[in-house]
Structure 1
Amino acid sequence: MYFSIFCFNWLIFLIFICSFIFALYRKYYSFVLLLSVLAIFFTLIKINNQVKMSQPLPKLSQISPIIDSIQVNGDLLSFQGKNKAQKYQVYYTLKSPKEQRFYKNLIQNCDIYFTGNVEFPEQKRNFNGFDAQKYFASQNIYAQITIKDVKRVELKSNFDVHLLRRKAIVWAQNHFPQPMSDYLTGLLFGFLSKDFSQMSDIYSSLGIIHLFALSGMQVNFFIVFFRKLLLRLGMTQESTRILQVPFSIFYACMTGFSISVLRALFQKNIRLSGLDNIAATTLILMLISPKFLLTTGGQLTLLYAFVLSLLTSHFEQFVGLRKLLIESVALSVVVLPLLIFDFHIFQPFSIVLTVIFGVIFDSFLLPLLLGVFSLSLLGLTINLNPLFRLLEKVVLHLDSFLHYPFVLGQPNPLELVMMLALGGLLIDYFSKKKRRWSLILSLILLFFFSKNPIHPSITAIDVGQGDSILLQDTFNQENILIDTGGRLAIPEKSWQQAQTQTNAEKTLIPYLQSVGVSHIDQLILTHTDADHVGDFLNLADKIKIKEVWVSSGELTDSSFLAQLKAAHIALHLTKVGDKIPIFKSNLQVLSNGYTQKGDNNDSIVTYGKFFNKSFLFTGDLEQNGEMKLLKTYPNLKVDVLKAGHHGSKTSSNPKFIKAIEPKLALISVGKNNRYGHPNQSTLKTFKKYKVKILRTDQKGAIKLTQINHQWQITTAK
């Protein structure tokens, strides 16, 4: 019912209807009444969301930051703020080190007066990609503010729970060095600074980043600690239970009211057991935070809790270490479908690592950090940074051995439901050997089809102002990537340097992993411009690459040559006529450059005729290069053209377009790019020769899928 209302899907709706009919048949009238009330409640919330999204954006000049949401990352400031009870996501580029220090150490509520723009968050631009609009809407944020200039900041004297948490975070950051301060704020207050992003990626790759997502482990530690303390002080059991409630509220405040903490606290304080406890907790969470199941964190924390409650009753025959390992494996198997739906990767060693690091974090680091932080409030600061540097060395060493997790792709809704159902049945029938193995084999088969697409496709991935095109054969038999995208690095002063994701980490890599690409057979780097090859090393760090194809002209660029050497990947110098087998045909090199300088007209040009349609990929080839190509191949005809140089006026010569007669032009270009691409003269040329245009700045990623001998076009937007 919940997902049928908030994000309609026919399969989910059918499951709900069948469940509803079953409830009526069994005369569960109280259950039906509850569903009806909740359905009205959720429908009203969705209507309210739609009304807010349809309203015109206001013009704002003042915002009140939610003080504990402030993040300073180099010269980038971000926070959530309020204006007239409406929440906004706010971004600002700091102007000086003085301004940076002010916001890093800000421990007073304030009002910021500014000039800037108010706009809707960006919708997803790639298939299976991050949708900022949906993400922020789940937090009741419908617009974002980009501040151009801060006019003034008015400090206020009012106090609230957010301010108390902020003071604790700033205290820890100022009194303890990194990385110790990051572990302290992460494990005690649920706050990880942007400076920790590199280690966060490594913990994520190892499958143990959830140890920083405060939930049952931390809640159990603090509640048990609190109860033992009161009992030692002579309190009765009944008094302790009563005082546990306000302490739970206080702890929720200090951890930012995260859903995982609230879920664990409700479970700890509700005097019910098993599935009754889960049911009551879910209903309360739905009432106080109706959108919590629209977030990945909300879905995972509830699923983990639900499965753990089932495991307790299903594996009572096992004891000790064997029981711990079996329960850990069962938990991972059941939760895995939702994990790969959101993150597309799985580290099989995460099961063992979770057990080991869970003990380290829960039994050692958490009480140690609590004690150290408490002593610092009394004036005694203990520096344990060598311990945390040692921990990170161990984690980095593990990552060097387990660097590439399994890429399993994103299951479709039917596959996801079937995986979850089979996982549940596996727990139920675990003791019955024949059924157990048939269920395991069925799950493996589903994971195989989730990872390996049955239809070949060509995708112009939206990497902003750049190029990246994936040719993916059936069942991942062959994966060819043409360029990686990237951004031109602008020199910055030390205080401005921010820990940010590369363009590939936000766009290219998530898409490749979502369609099950764990390796690239041939990476063709057309020329040395940063918007085509800038993210090459970042890609190689996440996805295995068998061979890189370059031209001899590209090797004249010393910085590019250094990247190739650093990657330690087999290199192939392209020659005219080189072929790569794919789609029961070949991708052929028509040109390996005309200038021998690695510039635009030195772009590697490739061509292929796939399933009765011809494709031409030209990199940044300009008009001079196009005419030379046409001279070499006077009879060249094309159905789909990847327009040269992002639709610039220096490319797409009218004579060239007239000669090759393309039916469709794909223009890979950044939204609102500073170059003004695509140029109007180029668009007029395509219009004149009746060429259909699809642009990534307007449509997001563009995918051509071969189904029943026809190329079908879909776009991300």
Structure 2
Amino acid sequence: MLSVLTKFPLIFLAYLAVLLYYCIFDFNSLIALAFACSLGIALYRKYFLLFPILLVLTGFFFIVSIDNHQKMITQAQNVSQIKIIPDSIQVNGDLLSFQGNEAGKKYQVYDTLQSEKEKKFYENLRQNCTISFTGNLEVPEHQRNFNGFDEQKYLATQGIYREIIVTSISKIKTNRGLDLHVLRRSAIVWIQSHFPKPMSNYMTGLLFGYLDKDFEQMGDIYSSLGIIHLFALSGMQVNFFIDGLRKILLRLGIRRDIVDILQVPFSIIYAFLTGLSVSILRALFQKNIKLTGLDNIALTTLILMFVSPKFLLTAGGQLTLFYAFAISMLSHLFISKKESLTEKIHLTSKLKQVIIASSALSLLVLPVLIFNFYIFQPLSILLTIGFGMLFDLILLPLLLTVFLLSLTGLTLNLNWMFKTLEALVQLVDCPFHYPLVLGKPNAIQLILLLSITALLLDFWMQKKLRWLLLCSLFIIFFTCKNPSQPTITAVDVGQGDSIFLKDRFNKQTILIDTGGRLNIPEKSWQKAQTESNASKTLIPYLESEGVSQIDQLILTHTDDDHVGDFLNLADKIKIKEVWVSPGELTCPDFVGKLKKAKIPIHLTQVGDEIPIFNSQLQVLSNGYTGKGDNNDSIVTYGNFYGKKFLFTGDLEQDGEMKLLKNYPNLKVDILKAGHHGSKTSSNPKFIKQIQPQLAIISVGKNNHYGHPNQQTLDTFKKYKVKSLRTDQNGAIKLTEIKGIWRISTVR
């Protein structure tokens, strides 16, 4: 087979295979055009052997695609028992999650633990286990926000098409059989029970690819510094363990060809012990394939497509492959010509060589990175070098040694070292906490970025061309970060409110409320480490739009579903000024949040204006009760490009009638319905008077309050007001194009 493939460049075949992959799994007309043009090049270069291989790949991809569709629509309607995959268990407060198998199908399972004893059972579970239960079988949540997380697609890449929400467990049956999942789980439980945190987190993370939920806060800091990838097992660990195995076997006198054979089963076992992550699989294939440079990564890509067909649908799969390709490309461009990159630009310092190589790698990967995560930390270039050496040369061998010693009964407590490390990371994070927010490139921008970065590295020595390419990159990054169209978006934050107004090129940004969850008192063992709602909804949307600063944040009143994520937002996005009402300052908890945020506060007055959209957002009311409650909501109004907008917070009927009394001639085209469509708001007299054409209802799916109330929906219907709801439509965006507001929804 290899002799056939070497008739043409393997990397060209891999390139065509990737284009074909996306044409079938995630169709885009630009990709289809690129694929057609590339086939034309293959014909011109007489690479005829490509076509039967591509035909085989086409058949395979279609079979996988059809199989995925069939699994989605033919899942069992009822499941009453399931076998737990032990190394997928996560216990977080009173929340339990794991993956399990039943009748050849895989499920994601969630349960709420009922006692501390039950919690300890699952925390210490290190054997196969089957549970009998009653519960609900649900389809995973689809994307709810523009550029937002799609749980359904994510789980489908792991072969999971249904979630199980357990209501009660009737029977637990354990099985003492041993497999690699049990072995990995046993190692994780052993570490967690023998070593303190945070040391145990670093040990499970670096040795077995498992990070506990309580590492989330620290992981967030590593992410903001751009070095969280050091915990994603890949080439560093693979090289360490494979090279270590080979050295030991060779020193024992085993022949090299036998060592090569023994390396294969060791690689398979290691893949299972580290959770079968795609980055580990990629690194193991590269390590075991006896080709070099671009040929190695090309064949690795083709094998991964058969072994893990959905890997390119995940951000992790895209990044691990592109990092490997970028490294191979740099090696091909410079080392194969017996010239290092640093020799080309006349640098001799070893440190400068490393920095230049790392910078070139970061530049190559940057388009794919911001396409998935929208942000970039320039400091990560230096931090990756420093912390990478620390993790690779010191922590990994040290933790392996400590772990092996603990199996003999000798436990070394080095927790002080990891507490010092985390203190150092937090110290570095303070002045560099906010990364560059570059926004999400569209398909055309992504292709241009990839092409120009590759050309820039190839033609770096040609000064005029270099500056032309650098300027081109800057322009494209600028357009990614600063979209040209004004937008108003009702972000789907669940049961809460968050309305974002963005002028063209982000020259003015206003956010009305942040959303948030209601806090329910819990016992200590029930307290879970949970992400804020904004970290999964509002913040990713803002970053995808290139927003690094909110000019004015209007917090309408003090309810948690409107202001609960204020501090979480301030931790990720700079806020220039917070607008509050006098009544909100009577709430001690809310005032405490304002003090903690240390952001300038503007106390709103009726008539206050914020310039935006060649007009102003005007404060019509700064509250009617002076208590920071629903009827104390800040109400704002704006006439933007021919349409009149009214944002009412949680204003209820009494407040609506007072608003009408103060503004008897008020007319509105687009209304943000008060109090999530509750029957306590949207008074029929109010709706009749203001005559809105569209009501936007920000409301959580299947919320406990029954919002929106049917009475409110009937009122809208009676007065011919079209309504859009975030629970049904997802995020709702209005985009101004040539003086016309166009409506788009996620669903």
Give the TM-score of the pair, scaled to structure 1.
Answer: 0.99
CA offsets 1:196-235 (integer angstroms, 9 cap, x no match): 1111111111000000001011111111111111122222
Structure 2 equivalent of residue 263 of structure 1: 282
Tell me, yes or no, if the aligned pair for 2:75 and 2:162 is still in contact at 8 Å.
no
Partner Cα separation in structure 2 for residue 562 and residue 498 of structure 1 = 23
Tell me, yes or no, if the aligned pair for 2:609 and 2:617 is still in contact at 8 Å.
yes
Partner Cα separation in structure 1 for residue 241 and residue 522 of structure 2 = 43
Once the two structures are superposed, the pairs formed by residues 608-619 of structure 1 within 5 Å of their partners are: 608-619=638-649
CA offsets 1:471-518 (integer angstroms, 9 cap, x no match): 000111000000011111111111111111011111111111111110
CA 397–250 in structure 1, closer or farther in 2 if over 3 Å, else same = same
Structure 1 equivalent of residue 126 of structure 2: 107
Structure 1 equivalent of residue 661 of structure 2: 631
Once the two structures are superposed, the pairs formed by residues 277-426 of structure 1 within 5 Å of their partners are: 277-315=296-334, 316-317=339-340, 318=342, 320-426=350-456
SS at match of 2:611: strand
Query: Is it true that 1:494 corresponds to 2:520 in the alignment?
Result: no
Partner Cα separation in structure 2 for residue 582 and residue 167 of structure 1 = 58
Structure 2 equivalent of residue 26 of structure 1: 45
* 2:537 aligned partner, one-letter code: T
Structure 2 equivalent of residue 647 of structure 1: 677
Partner Cα separation in structure 2 for residue 3 and residue 420 of structure 1 = 16
Once the two structures are overlaid, the 10-residue window that deviates more, 434-443 or 217-226, is 434-443
CA offsets 1:670-697 (integer angstroms, 9 cap, x no match): 0000000000110000000000000000
Structure 1 equivalent of residue 107 of structure 2: 88
Structure 2 equivalent of residue 129 of structure 1: 148
Partner Cα separation in structure 1 for residue 153 and residue 433 of structure 2 = 31
Partner Cα separation in structure 1 for residue 585 and residue 275 of structure 2 = 52
Alpha-carbon deviation of 1:432?
2.0
Structure 2 equivalent of residue 437 of structure 1: 467
CA offsets 1:418-464 (integer angstroms, 9 cap, x no match): 11111111221122222222112111111110010100000000001
**Correspondent of 1:207 among 216, 221, 226:** 226
SS at match of 1:118: strand
Once the two structures are overlaid, the 10-residue window that deviates more, 243-252 or 511-520, is 243-252
Structure 1 equivalent of residue 36 of structure 2: 17
Tell me, yes or no, if the aligned pair for 1:65 and 1:82 is still in contact at 8 Å.
yes
CA offsets 1:316-370 (integer angstroms, 9 cap, x no match): 3325222211111111011111111111111000000000000000000000001
* 1:84 aligned partner, one-letter code: A
Partner Cα separation in structure 1 for residue 86 and residue 70 of structure 2 = 28
Query: Is it true that 1:583 corresponds to 2:613 in the alignment?
Result: yes
Tell me, yes or no, if the aligned pair for 1:77 and 1:93 is still in contact at 8 Å.
yes
CA 559–98 in structure 1, closer or farther in 2 if over 3 Å, else same = same
Query: Is it true that 1:673 corresponds to 2:703 in the alignment?
Result: yes
Tell me, yes or no, if the aligned pair for 1:111 and 1:154 is still in contact at 8 Å.
yes
Tell me, yes or no, if the aligned pair for 1:406 and 1:518 is still in contact at 8 Å.
yes
Once the two structures are superposed, the pairs formed by residues 164-313 of structure 1 within 5 Å of their partners are: 164-313=183-332
* 1:142 aligned partner, one-letter code: Y
Alpha-carbon deviation of 1:310?
1.2
CA offsets 1:28-47 (integer angstroms, 9 cap, x no match): 11112111110111011111
CA offsets 1:511-560 (integer angstroms, 9 cap, x no match): 11111110000000111111111111111111100111111011111111
CA offsets 1:545-586 (integer angstroms, 9 cap, x no match): 011111101111111111111111111111111000000000
Residue identity (%): 66
**Correspondent of 1:694 among 720, 724, 730:** 724
Alpha-carbon deviation of 1:158?
2.1
CA offsets 1:398-423 (integer angstroms, 9 cap, x no match): 11111111111111111111111111
Query: Is it true that 1:458 corresponds to 2:477 in the alignment?
Result: no
Tell me, yes or no, if the aligned pair for 1:605 and 1:619 is still in contact at 8 Å.
yes
Partner Cα separation in structure 2 for residue 488 and residue 549 of structure 1 = 22
Tell me, yes or no, if the aligned pair for 1:57 and 1:119 is still in contact at 8 Å.
no
CA offsets 1:123-166 (integer angstroms, 9 cap, x no match): 01000000000000111111110111111110113221111111
Once the two structures are overlaid, the 10-residue window that deviates more, 311-320 or 467-476, is 311-320
Alpha-carbon deviation of 1:639?
0.3
SS at match of 2:696: strand
Structure 1 equivalent of residue 345 of structure 2: none
* 2:98 aligned partner, one-letter code: F
* 1:658 aligned partner, one-letter code: K
Q: Spell out structure 1 runs of 4+ moving beyond 4 A.
A: none
Partner Cα separation in structure 1 for residue 50 and residue 324 of structure 2 = 22
Partner Cα separation in structure 2 for residue 437 and residue 672 of structure 1 = 55
Partner Cα separation in structure 1 for residue 725 and residue 354 of structure 2 = 52
Gaps of at least 5 residues in structure 2 are 1-19, 343-347
SS at match of 1:666: strand
Partner Cα separation in structure 2 for residue 423 and residue 39 of structure 1 = 30
Structure 2 equivalent of residue 524 of structure 1: 554
SS at match of 2:110: strand
SS at match of 2:272: helix
SS at match of 1:635: coil
**Correspondent of 1:139 among 132, 155, 158:** 158
Partner Cα separation in structure 2 for residue 30 and residue 105 of structure 1 = 55
Partner Cα separation in structure 1 for residue 426 and residue 105 of structure 2 = 42
Alpha-carbon deviation of 1:57?
4.5
Once the two structures are superposed, the pairs formed by residues 11-90 of structure 1 within 5 Å of their partners are: 11-55=30-74, 57-90=76-109
Gaps of at least 5 residues in structure 1 are none
* 2:249 aligned partner, one-letter code: L
**Correspondent of 1:7 among 19, 26, 32:** 26
* 1:121 aligned partner, one-letter code: P
* 1:20 aligned partner, one-letter code: L
CA offsets 1:8-63 (integer angstroms, 9 cap, x no match): 11111111111112212222111121111101110111111112222364201101
* 1:6 aligned partner, one-letter code: F
Tell me, yes or no, if the aligned pair for 1:24 and 1:32 is still in contact at 8 Å.
no
SS at match of 1:636: coil
Query: Is it true that 1:703 corresponds to 2:722 in the alignment?
Result: no
SS at match of 1:601: helix
* 2:721 aligned partner, one-letter code: V
SS at match of 2:135: strand
Give the TM-score of the pair, scaled to structure 2.
Answer: 0.95
Partner Cα separation in structure 2 for residue 526 and residue 242 of structure 1 = 67
Partner Cα separation in structure 1 for residue 160 and residue 362 of structure 2 = 33
Tell me, yes or no, if the aligned pair for 1:601 and 1:622 is still in contact at 8 Å.
yes
* 2:209 aligned partner, one-letter code: G
Partner Cα separation in structure 2 for residue 107 and residue 679 of structure 1 = 48
Alpha-carbon deviation of 1:314?
2.6
Structure 2 equivalent of residue 593 of structure 1: 623
Partner Cα separation in structure 2 for residue 56 and residue 361 of structure 1 = 43
**Correspondent of 2:116 among 75, 86, 97:** 97
CA offsets 1:300-325 (integer angstroms, 9 cap, x no match): 11100011011113343325222211
* 1:356 aligned partner, one-letter code: G
Partner Cα separation in structure 2 for residue 537 and residue 281 of structure 1 = 44
Partner Cα separation in structure 2 for residue 246 and residue 45 of structure 1 = 27
Partner Cα separation in structure 1 for residue 261 and residue 428 of structure 2 = 45
